[in-house]
Every structure is written in C-alpha cells, then in structure tokens.
C-alpha cells in the first residue's frame, strides 16, 4: 500500500503541473484518478482511527487527536437533536488530511530548503540569526519562539522571496471587475501569481532583506495585498501560524546546531517546479555539527 500511495502522490504532483487535458493517459487525468485513490486510503485511515478512539484507546497521532474532537462534536450534536456536522464525516476528514498532506509536505519542504539556501548566501543575516538564538535558553517553547523577532523576520522574508506555491487557482463565482475596462466572467478559472505579487510594491523587492518586516519599516503591513503566500481574506491558509512557527523553529535549531556550506553546481539557483518551487540543486549542502 505504501508503494501505491507514493506512486499516486507523485502522479498527483505531476498532474498539478500538467495541462488540464482530461483524457485517458494524460497526466491530468492520471492525477484525478490518483487523488481519488489517495483520498480513499486516507478516508479508511479516518475510519480506523474512529474505531480505535470509540474503543477508548489512547491517541497515537494527530489524526487520532482530531478524531477525538470530532467524536465530541458528533456527541454534542446528537444530544442537541441535531445531525452530525458535515465536516465530521470520514470522507470529509480524508479530503482534509489530503489537503494537509500537500501543504505540510510539499510547501513546508520547499520553504525549509529555501531558508537554508538563502541563509547560506547571506552570511550577515545568518550571523544575526545565530546571535539572537544565543540569547535564548533551552528548552525551546512557544513563548521562546515569540521572542525570536529577527528570526521570524527572516522567515517572513524567505516566504516572500520564494513563496512555495507560486500560483493559486480560483474560480470567479460572479462577474468580477478587475479594471474599468475588463471584468472576469463568472465561472472563469483565474490563476493569481503569488510569486509575481511578492515582487510588487516592496522596497527593492528582488533583494533578500528581512529588515523590511521590522517594526520600523512594516512592509508586511504597507504592502499587505502583495504578501499573498498564505492567501488573503476569509479563504487564507488555515495553517499560516503553524507554518511560520514551524519554519522559525527549524531555523532556530538548524542554525544553532549545524554548520552548512552549499556545494556549488551549475545553475544551482535556477527555479524548478515540483510543483512547489525549489533551487535546481534541491539544496545540496555539506553539513557538520556546530561546535
């Protein structure tokens, strides 16, 4: 099953980057069928988790903890004489887990690679991160992460400079005016470029400059509509806070514990799409324990 799951997930990734030609044998069509199989597997995982949690077993993973909360919601609905909330069905959970899997694996991996790559190419930024980390005592905690002001500025700049998801498709639900002379017709699929918007408005946008997010400059507020790595409005990414904390924690631990040097390769900084973006060398580094 693991081999088939991996094969299907790779097919999904390839389909994301393919032309939407829904014919047998085309990558897009293969991806559609792969997603159905992936969701079916994850739905079965949700079913098994529900059985175990109903039997009073202890949670062993995030899905189990989520299932316990879902069972509580279902019980409250039953006590109130109401149907179970729609999001509590096993199939819905399977779909959500699939979304989380893509966001947690592909997008986060892209950001981790770019964080190390950009710190390596900006030694003064790396020095400031390490200096900040040296002022914090162990063990790390959420409160300690909140004290990492400069490290979080670096994280936000990594996400602006190299947003993992460069395009986010939307469907126009109504006729949507863009300018005085053009309106997007209802039903049109629109692909806003998160990547391009990250280089609009900001001061010297093609420079990697974490200080743009400092309290003095506040470019994240001044150009809020251009920093779209997590989307905007009511449909912005649910995992935004988690993603920033995750990348901040990784940066803290990695820079404190590891010495790293990038191995030069031809065209290493060219962008490749997997479907999230990565450097051409995929982050080829020599690592050693930091003294």
Please give the Cα distance from 210 to 79 (Å, whole number). Answer: 51
Contact 204, 223 (CB under 8 A): no
Which residue bears the tokens 């998160």? 194
Please give the Cα distance from 34 to 41 (Å, whole number). Answer: 11
Cα atoms in the 13 Å half-sphere on the side-chain side of 69:
7
Is the Cα dihedral 103, 106, 107, 111 positive or negative?
A: positive
Annotated binding residue 237: yes
Please give the Cα distance from 18 to 30 (Å, whole number). Answer: 10
| Other beta carbons less than 10 A from residue 148's beta carbon | 22
Residue 271's DSSP bridge partners are 279
Contact 203, 212 (CB under 8 A): yes
Strands 183-184 and 277-279: unpaired
Binding residues are: 237
Binding residues for heme are: 237
């Amino acid at each position: 099953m693991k081999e088939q799951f991996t094969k299907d997930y790779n097919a999904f990734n390839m389909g994301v980057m393919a032309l939407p030609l829904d014919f047998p044998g085309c990558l897009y069509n293969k991806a559609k069928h792969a997603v159905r199989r992936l969701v079916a597997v994850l739905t079965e995982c949700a079913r098994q988790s529900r059985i175990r949690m109903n039997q009073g077993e202890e949670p062993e993973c995030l899905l189990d903890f989520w299932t316990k909360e879902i069972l509580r919601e279902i019980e409250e609905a039953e006590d109130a004489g109401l149907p179970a909330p729609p999001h509590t069905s096993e199939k819905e959970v399977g779909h959500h887990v699939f979304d989380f899997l893509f966001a947690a694996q592909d997008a986060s991996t892209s950001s981790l690679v770019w964080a190390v790559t950009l710190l390596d190419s900006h030694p003064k930024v790396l020095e400031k991160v390490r200096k900040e980390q040296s002022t914090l005592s162990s063990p790390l905690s959420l409160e300690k992460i909140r004290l990492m002001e400069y490290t979080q500025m670096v994280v936000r700049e990594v996400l602006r400079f190299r947003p993992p998801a460069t395009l986010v498709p939307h469907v126009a639900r109504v006729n949507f005016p863009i300018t005085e002379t053009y309106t997007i017709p209802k039903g049109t699929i629109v692909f806003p470029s998160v990547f391009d918007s990250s280089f609009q408005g900001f001061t010297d946008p093609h420079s990697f400059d974490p200080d743009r997010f400092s309290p003095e400059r506040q470019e994240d507020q001044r150009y809020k509509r251009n920093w779209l790595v997590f989307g905007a409005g009511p449909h912005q990414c649910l995992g935004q806070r988690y993603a920033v904390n995750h990348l901040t924690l990784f940066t803290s631990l990695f820079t404190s514990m590891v010495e790293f040097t990038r191995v030069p390769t031809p065209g290493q900084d060219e962008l490749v799409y997997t479907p999230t973006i990565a450097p051409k060398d995929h982050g080829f580094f020599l690592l050693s324990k930091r003294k």
